Amino acid sequence: MSFKLSFTREAASVLKKLGTEKDPKLKKVRKALGLLEINPRHPSLATHEFTSLSGPAGEKVFEAYVENRTPGAWRIFWYYGPDPGMIRVLNIAPHS
């Protein structure tokens, strides 16, 4: 099953600010979003529950890796919904 992604304003703003098509960060983020659409549990995403956040209706929030073993690696924070077959991307941010 594949999922349809939707983005909060914050997540959409981050994508817009990441730069041009040739920006390596943007390419990595887009690749990770593509994997998230196809399989949120893809091994390279290392998806796991992020217990410090919850969705607007109390949904479990997950963290997916854009990169591994990289200082300041980017992460995607998301939850299932709001409708069946959808994933809502809350934010895309560098790991601190």
Going along the chain from its start, the domains and CATH numbers come out as: 4-94 (3.30.2310.20)
pLDDT of res. 77: 97
> Quick one: pLDDT at residue 24?
83
Q: pLDDT for 28-52, tens place per residue? A: 999 999 999 999 999 999 999 999 9
Compute the distance between CA of residue 94 and CA of residue 90 in angstroms, rounded to an integer.
14
Residue 19 pLDDT exceeds 80: no
Residue 59 DSSP label? P
Sequence-separated (6 or more) residues with CB below 8 Å from residue 61: 49, 50, 53, 54, 55, 77, 78, 79, 90
pLDDT of 78 reads 98
Q: What is the mean pLDDT of residues 70-77?
A: 87
Per-residue pLDDT at 14 = 92
